[in-house]
Structure 1
Amino acid sequence: MSRRYGSRGMLNSFATQRNREEQQTQSSASGQGGSSSRRPPPGLKGKEIGLFYKNLNKEKLKQREKKNNSPVFRLLPHIEERIKTILNNSKSFRSFIFDERSNSEHDDKYHHIHDSQFKRKFLEIINGDIEHNLAKAISMESELQRNSDIDKILLNEFKDKQIQSDYQNMLKFRLKLPAYHKKSEILQLVKDNQVVVISGETGCGKTTQVAQFILDDQLEAGNGSITRIVCTQPRRISAISVAERVAAERAEKLGKSVGYQIRLEKIPTREQGSILFCTTGILLQFMKTDPALKNFSHIILDEIHERTTESDFIITLLKKIIPKRTDLKILLMSATLNSERFSKYYNECPMIHIPGFTYPVQEFYLEDVLSFTQFKFPEASEPTVYRKYLKRYKEQQHKKDEFLDIIQPYIRQLRTEMKYGEHVFNQLRNPNSENLSLELIEKLVRYICNKKGPGAILIFLPGMMDISQLNRMMLDSGCYPPNKYIIYPLHSRMPTIDQKLIFKEPPNDIRKIIIATSIAETSITIEDVVYVIDCGKTKLGRFDVKNNIQTLEPEWVSLANAKQRRGRAGRVKSGECYHLYCKVREMTFDQYPLPEMLRTRLEEVILQIKILQLGKAKEFLASVMDPPDLKAIDLSLDLLRTLNALDKEEHLTPLGYHLAHLPLDPRTGKMILWAALFSCIEPIFAIAASLTFKDAFYCPLGKEEEANKKKLELSMGEYSDHIALAEALRRFEVARRRGNAGQFCREYFLSFNTLKLLSEMKTQFAQYLYEMKFLDNDNPGDRNANRNSNNIALIKAIVCAGLYPNIAVIRRITKNGAVGWTPEDGSVRTHPSSVNCKASNFPSQYLTYFTKKRSTAIYLHDTTCISIPILLFTGPNILIRREKGKCIISNFNFSENIICEPQTAEVIQELQYALNSLLEYKITHPATVLWSTFEGQILNAIIELISQKDQEMGYNNDEDFTYYNSD
C-alpha cells in the first residue's frame, strides 16, 4: 500500500557496512591484546600503529559514552559535505538578508528588516500604547457621520415596515415578552447613563429585544445615520440563530438592518442604522483596527455571566475606552442575578432586571429517576491498597467518606417521607450513583418516550465523546427507529449548518431528541423542548499553576448552570426537568462557575494584550474583575519567550506579531507558519486542527484493544500520535471522495463529524495564511505548498518546534509501558490512549508531547518520538562546548549531554544561524519560499539533516535501555 507521507524504511546499507567495519576493528584490537595491555601487538609498523591507537581511542570513547549514558550524534559524511557546500554558497545571500544586529531601541534592533508594510505595522505595534492609540482614533473621522438624508430614508423605511402584515404578526408575539414591558425603562436608562447592566430570566426576550428597542428608538429620533449596534454572543451558533430570529422579527432578510459575523463566516449589515451580532472574538478583532470603536454607537455584551476569558478581557478593555468615548453606550446583559458584581466594577452603574416568562417546570431528582426506571448502578468495588498508590487510595477513601457523610442523613430524611422504596435508598448509597451513567440516561429517555406526552427531549452531557457514545448507544439499541425519532448531537465545534438543524420542528408523529453540551444552556432557544435531562456535570478546563498541568475533567455544575438547564424546558408549555443528582448534592454546588481566566493558560490573552498595546501583562491583568494568579502569568510569559513570540523585555517579536493575529493557541499557530515555510501544510494543518479541537479517535467499551491496533496502524510505525492524526484525516478525505467515509470511520473507530470539522479547519488555516501572504492561495491541497508533505521527519520537527519545551526523556520500559522523565515532574508516563504507551523499541530516547495531565499518574498526551537532529533544530536553548577533543551539546532543560565531533558542531551552529536568519526574514517579509533560490537550498539542507535515520546516527546500544535498540 502506498503512503503519502512515506514510511520509516530499512537500515541504510552505508550505515550497516560502517557499523560492521567498526565492530571488526574493535574485535581485532581486543583479540590482539590491545584493550588489555594498551600497547600495539608486535609486528605493526608506522600507519598501522597509528590506526591501532585511533581504534583504541574510539573504544574508550564508546565505553565512556555507555557509562555516562550520553548519545552520540554523527552526520553521514556525504550529508555533512553537501550542507557545507550549501552554507558556503549561501553566504552572500544571507549577508544580503541580514546586516549586523543592534541591541538598542526597537527601531535599531530591527534595522536589518528591509522597509516594508509589515515593518511599519510591526514597529507601530511594539512602539505604541493604548492611550496614544485611543487619542489618535478619536481624532479621526468615524464612519458614523450625521447625514440628514440617510436619517430620513431610514425613518421612512421603518415607518413603511410597521404597516406590513409580516411585521405586525411578529410584533404581536414580541409584545407578549416581559422585556417589552420594560422597554421605556431600559431606553431611559440607556439615555441617561453610559453603562447599564441588564439581567433577565430565561425566556424574557432580552437577547432578541434590547438591541431592537435601541435601534427603533434611534430611527424614530432621526439618528439612524449615527447608530450602529454590535451585540456579542459567546458562541457561533448563538450569534447566527439570534441574528436570524431578529431579522425575522423585523420582517426582513439578513444583510439589511441585521447581520452576523463569526470566524470566516458573515452576512454583513448596512453601515448605518443596523445591528451586528458577532462572537466576542470578532469584537476583539475589530478593536485591533478600531481601538476606540468609533464605528459603533452601542456595544451590547450578552451572556457575560459565563465569564469567558474573552468577555472578561473586553469588559476590562471597555473600561479604558469609555472615558475617551463619552458618546459610546455599553450594555452588559446577564442571564442570572449576579449583576451586582458587574455594576460595582463599572463604578456602581445602574441595573435593571427583567422577569422571565416560562411555563411551569416540574423538577425531578435522582431519587425520582431511580424510582421511575428501577435502574441499578454497578456495585462499587473496594480499592486495593497498594503502597505505591497509597496517596490516591487515601484521596478516594476521603471522597467516599465525604459522600457517605452527605448521603446517609439524607436517606434517613427520605425514609421519614415514605416516598421511595428500599431500592432507591440502596442505589443512593452506591458511590457510583455520582458518576455519569449513559445507561441510566438511555433508560430515562425510553421511560419518557413510553410514558410521557409529545415534546422534544434535551439531554445535557459534559463533552462531545459522551454525546457520541450515547448517540451510538441509542441508535444501536433499535428502540429509536427513524420513523418515530430524530436524534441530533449538538456541540460548539459542529459545523454551523449542522447546528441549525436542531431548530427544525419535526412532524407531529416524530419525537426530537437533542444531545448537547452546555452550549444549549443560554442564548439559543429550541422552542419545542418540553423535557430536559440534566446529568449535572460539565467539562471545565483547569490549569494547575503549582504543577504547570492542564486538566479537563467533568465536574458538578454551578447552581446558575442548573437553573439555566431547567429553564430550557417550559418554553411552549409546561415542562419537566430530570436532574441526575440527588437534591442534597445540589446543596453543595457553587453559586456561579469559576471565571475562565482563573482556570486556563494565558498565552493567547497575553498576545492580545500585546497586539492591542496594553502594556505589561501583569499590570493589565491586575485590572480585570478577577485577576489571575501571578505564577500563571509568569508560566505563560516563559512559554511565549520559548516560542520566540516575546523578547526578554516582554515585547512582541515578528513571529509573535503573526501568532497574535491567528485565532489559535500560539503553539499550533507556530506549527502552521513553519508548515507554510517548509511546504508541508496538509499534514501539519491536520495535526494543528486536531490539537486545537480534539482528535477524532474514540474507544468503545469492550473494543479498546481493537481500537488501539487501528490507531497504531495509522501511526505507520512512526511512534507518533500526531502522525496517526494526520494519516486518519488524509485517509478520511480520500474515503469521502470515494463515497465510503462512513465505512472507513467505523473500521478505524473514528468520528465522522469530528473529521469533517477538522477538514474544514484545514481550509480555514489556509485562508488565514493566504491573507497573511504565507501561501499563494487558500487551497490546503495546493501542490507547491505540499512539496515536502511526504517527509515524516520534517513533520515531526515542525510539531516539536511548536510544542517545545514539552520534551520528555524515556528512562525505562516496563510491562505497563514507557516511563519518562521531565524536569518539572520527574517520572511521567505516556497515556494509555497513545500509540507509544506499549512501545518498546523506540528509535530515540526523546518524546515531545502536547499536554500532560495528572490522574493516577502524570500522563503525557499526544506524543511523538523525535530524533536528536530534530531537537537540535527546534529547541532554542542549545549550547555547544568543547571537552577533551569532543563537542558536548547540552541544555535541552535536561541533564543529558550529546557528544559530537567538532566539525559537526560547527556545521550545526552555522546551519542553525542560517535557519534562524531565514525564519526571521520570511516572518518579516511574508511570502512563499522560492525553492529554486538559496532559500530553498538552506531549507533542503535542514530537511536532509533532520531526515537522517536514527539508526545512522551512532546511538549507543545499551542493553539496559531498550530505547537504544534499533529494528
Structure 2
Amino acid sequence: MNEDFLLIILRDLLPRRPDLRLILMSATINADLFSKFFGDAPTIHIPGFTFPVTELYLEDVLEKTRYTIKSEFDNFQGNSRRRRRQQETKKDPLTELFEDVDIDSHYKSYSSSTRQSLEAWSGSQLDLGLVEATIEYICRHESDGAILVFLTGSMPTINQREIFDRPPRNVRKIVLATNIAESSITIDDVVYVIDCGKAKETSYDALNKLACLLPSWISKASAHQRRGRAGRVQPGVCYRLYPKMIHDAMPQYQLPEMLRTPLQELCLHIKTLQLGAIGSFLAKALQPPDSLSVQNAIELLKTIGALDDREELTPLGRHLCTLPLDPNIGKMLLMGSIFQCLNPALTIAAALAHRDPFVLPINRKEEADAAKRSFAGDSCSDHIALLKAFEGWKDAKHIGFVDKSRGAQAYNQCSHDLEMVCAILCAGLYPNVVQCKRRGKRRALYTKEVGAVDIHPASVNAGVHLFPLPYMVYSEKVKTSSIYIRDSTNISVYALLMFGGNLIPSKSEDSIEMLGGYLHFSASKTVLDLIRKLRGELDRLLKRKIEDPGLDVAVEGKGVVAAVIELLHSHNVQY
C-alpha cells in the first residue's frame, strides 16, 4: 500500500522535477496500466531465462495418477454437482463457471473415471489426497529433482533455512510453501511444482468493517510465477490441481493492497504531509479505493481522537503520525506511557504489529494451546498471554532487558497492575468492542457492525463459556469459515467508561450511551454524574499531557489517576 501512496506523490512531483528519472521494475506488473498512469510512459520487457516447463492441469493430473475424487454428496440421489449447488452457500465466480460446464462433452477425450472425478471436484476445498497422490506419482515416475508444493495457510518458520539445503543421495526434497515462494525466495533445485491455485489473501468488507482472510484464486501473473519456479536449473513440470478452464478465467493481476485493506494509517500520512483532503488525494490513485473504505478510515480516526470534525490532525493525531504503527496500537502505546504501563504496552504493541509469536506445531496443537492458556491465567486475555510469554522468555534467557535511561522505572509504576493494563488495551483498541451476554449457561457475543461473532479458535478465550466481565476488546475482526474476533481481552464496564469513546447523554437520566448509541450503561443519576465528572477530569488531564509531553501526570493528575485506578478494581460480576 505504501507503494500505491508513493506513486501518487511521484506522479504529482514529476512535472515540477523534469530532471528526475523514475524506473519501475516488477516481474508481475501490469505494464499497460502503469504506463497510462504516468502519461503513456515507455515500457521495456526484459525476458528472464528459464528452462521449458510442461504444464499439466487437473484433468491431466487425474489421468496420470488415476486418483478418484469423491464428492461429499455421493450419498444423495441425482447429480452431485446440482446437489452441491443447492447445498453450498456463496461461491466464487470461477467455481460457478466450471459447475455450468457439461463435463461429458467438454472432456470427452478423457477417461470415464476422470470425468467422474471432474463431476465431483469442488473448487471450495483443497483435496489433500490429490496432493499426496501427485507427490507419489512424481516420486515413482519422474526423474530426480525437488518438489515445491504451493498450499494455502501459514507455515511454521522453524528450520526454514533447510529448504535451501541439497538432500542426500537417493532422497527427494519436498517443500511445502505458501505464496511467499512465488517470487520472494528461490529454491535452486526445484524441478516439479504442485500448484493448488489458491492463496490466503486479506480483503476488506467496507460495509461491515471486516477483514476477510479466505483462500481465493490467484491471478494469472501469480500462476505464471509459480510455474517459473520449476524451470530454474533444468526443464520442469508444473502440476496444476485445478482445471485449465479455471486458469484461463483467472484475473490477469491481483488487486492492489489499497483496495483490500483498511486505510486509517495511510490517511494519517496524507494529513501529516499536508497533501490535501484525504478523499481527493486517494481518488488520484492508480486504482482508487472505494469511497466507503475511505470514509470508514476517516470515521475511525475521528473516533479515536486523531482527527477533528474538519478532518484536521489533533495533537494526538500528530503524535500518532510519528509512530510506524496502526493508529489504534499507537494510541495504546501512548496511553501506556502516560499511565506508567510502558513496558507492557511496548510488548503488546510489538506483538500486535508483527506476526503472532505463538507457534502451533501441526502435531502438538493441544500442547501449544494449553501453554498459551497457562500464560493467560485467569485474565481472559490473549494480550496478557502475549505479555506473560515475553516476561517468561526474558526470565528463561537471563537477558534482563535493563532500561538504561535514568527515569525508566517512573514509566512502569503500574506495569504489574493488570486492571490498568487492560484499561490501556481498551483505550487503544476502542471502538473494537464486543458485548458479552448470557444465553442460559452459554455466552453470546455481539458487535455493532455484524451482530453475533465468535472467538477465534486460537484464542485463550475460545473455551470460556461465561466471562467475569461484560465486555471484550479485540485486535481484529476476521471472516474465515465464520466471523471471529482475534486477540481478545475481557474488560470491565469501568475500563470502557473511563477509556472508551465519548459518553453520550441518553433520553433517560439513569443511563448514558457510547459508540453511537450501541452501548448503554444504566445507574443512578448520582453515580452517572460522578462517572461523567471523573471522565471529564481524566480527558482534560490527557489533553494537557498530549499537548505538553513534558507534563508530569503523576504529579499534576495524582488524585485523578488514583481515583481511576481504584474504580478499575471495583468489579465482580460474571457475564
TM range (shorter): 0.7 to 0.9
Gaps of 5+ in 2: 77-83
Q: Distance in 1 between matches of 2:75 and 2:545?
A: 57
8 A contact 2:438–2:466 mirrored in 1? no
Query: How far is 1:615 from its partner?
Result: 0.9
Counterpart of 1:894 in structure 2 is 518
Partner deviation per Cα, 1:314-340 (whole Å, 9 max, x = no partner): 111101111121111101223247311
| Residue of structure 2 aligned with 1:325, choices 4, 10, 17 | 17
Letter in 2 for 1:852: K
Q: Where do residues 418-457 of structure 1 align in structure 2 (5 Å cutoff)? A: 418=110, 420=111, 422=113, 424-432=114-122, 434-438=124-128, 440-449=130-139, 451-457=141-147
Higher relative contact order (CA 8 A, sep 6+): 1
Q: Where do residues 413-812 of structure 1 align in structure 2 (5 Å cutoff)? A: 416-418=108-110, 420=111, 422=113, 424-432=114-122, 434-438=124-128, 440-449=130-139, 451-464=141-154, 467-468=155-156, 489=160, 512-522=173-183, 524-697=185-358, 709-735=370-396, 785-812=411-438
8 A contact 1:818–1:830 mirrored in 2? no
Letter in 1 for 2:56: F
Query: How far is 1:313 from its partner?
Result: 1.1
Partner deviation per Cα, 1:898-917 (whole Å, 9 max, x = no partner): 21462x55554444344334
Counterpart of 2:495 in structure 1 is 870
Distance 1:711 1:824, change over 3 A: same
Distance 1:370 1:937, change over 3 A: farther
Q: Distance in 2 between matches of 1:680 and 1:895?
A: 27
Letter in 1 for 2:416: N
Counterpart of 2:564 in structure 1 is 942
Q: Distance in 1 between matches of 2:370 and 2:549?
A: 42
Q: 2:441 matched to 1:820?
A: no
Q: Where do residues 949-960 of structure 1 align in structure 2 (5 Å cutoff)? A: 949-951=570-572
Q: Distance in 2 between matches of 1:371 and 1:923?
A: 68
Q: Distance in 2 between matches of 1:866 and 1:553?
A: 30
Counterpart of 1:842 in structure 2 is 467
8 A contact 1:407–1:584 mirrored in 2? no
Q: 2:478 matched to 1:853?
A: yes
SS across alignment from 1:380: coil
SS across alignment from 1:542: strand
Letter in 2 for 1:726: L
- The structure in which a higher percent of residues are helix is 1
Letter in 2 for 1:521: E
Q: 2:366 matched to 1:366?
A: no
Distance 1:703 1:806, change over 3 A: same
8 A contact 2:431–2:500 mirrored in 1? yes
Distance 1:401 1:682, change over 3 A: closer
Counterpart of 2:543 in structure 1 is 920
8 A contact 1:377–1:433 mirrored in 2? no
8 A contact 1:684–1:795 mirrored in 2? yes
What value does the CA root-mean-square deviation take over the aligned residues?
3.8
SS across alignment from 1:551: strand
Q: Distance in 2 between matches of 1:393 and 1:538?
A: 23
Counterpart of 2:80 in structure 1 is none
Q: Distance in 2 between matches of 1:591 and 1:640?
A: 35
Gaps of 5+ in 1: 1-308, 385-391, 472-486, 490-497, 739-758, 767-774, 956-961
Normalising to structure 2: TM-score of the pair? 0.85
Distance 1:405 1:568, change over 3 A: closer
Counterpart of 1:339 in structure 2 is 31
Q: Distance in 2 between matches of 1:434 and 1:374?
A: 22
8 A contact 2:213–2:480 mirrored in 1? no
Query: How far is 1:361 from its partner?
Result: 0.9
Distance 1:393 1:823, change over 3 A: farther
Letter in 2 for 1:727: K
Partner deviation per Cα, 1:730-768 (whole Å, 9 max, x = no partner): 434545569xxxxxxxxxxxxxxxxxxxx9xxx9xx9xx
SS across alignment from 2:23: strand
Letter in 2 for 1:950: H
Q: Distance in 1 between matches of 2:235 and 2:43?
A: 30
Q: Distance in 1 between matches of 2:551 and 2:146?
A: 52
Query: How far is 1:943 from its partner?
Result: 2.7
Query: How far is 1:513 from its partner?
Result: 4.4
Letter in 2 for 1:822: T
Partner deviation per Cα, 1:848-881 (whole Å, 9 max, x = no partner): 2223334665433332221111011112311467
Letter in 2 for 1:845: P
Query: How far is 1:712 from its partner?
Result: 3.7
8 A contact 2:70–2:117 mirrored in 1? no
Q: Distance in 2 between matches of 1:463 and 1:398?
A: 21
Distance 1:404 1:319, change over 3 A: closer
Q: Distance in 1 between matches of 2:551 and 2:55?
A: 60
Q: Distance in 2 between matches of 1:615 and 1:941?
A: 42
Distance 1:692 1:553, change over 3 A: farther
8 A contact 2:443–2:465 mirrored in 1? yes
8 A contact 1:462–1:538 mirrored in 2? yes
8 A contact 1:776–1:928 mirrored in 2? no
Counterpart of 1:232 in structure 2 is none
Q: 2:6 matched to 1:314?
A: yes
Distance 1:682 1:363, change over 3 A: farther
Distance 1:404 1:324, change over 3 A: closer
Distance 1:523 1:421, change over 3 A: same
SS across alignment from 1:852: strand
8 A contact 1:427–1:433 mirrored in 2? no
Letter in 2 for 1:537: K
SS across alignment from 2:16: coil
For structure 1, which segment, 583-592 or 675-684, has the greater mean C-alpha deviation from structure 2 after superposition?
Answer: 675-684
The percent of aligned pairs where both chains have the same amino acid is: 39
SS across alignment from 2:225: helix
SS across alignment from 2:126: coil
Q: Distance in 2 between matches of 1:649 and 1:796?
A: 32
Counterpart of 2:81 in structure 1 is none
Partner deviation per Cα, 1:629-672 (whole Å, 9 max, x = no partner): 11111111010011111111111122222222222211112122
Partner deviation per Cα, 1:447-491 (whole Å, 9 max, x = no partner): 444544343433323332xx24xx9xxxxxxxxxxxxxxx964xx
Letter in 1 for 2:535: Q
Q: Where do residues 260-409 of structure 1 align in structure 2 (5 Å cutoff)? A: 309-336=1-28, 338-375=30-67, 379-381=71-73, 396=88, 399=91, 403=95, 406=98, 409=101
8 A contact 2:95–2:122 mirrored in 1? no
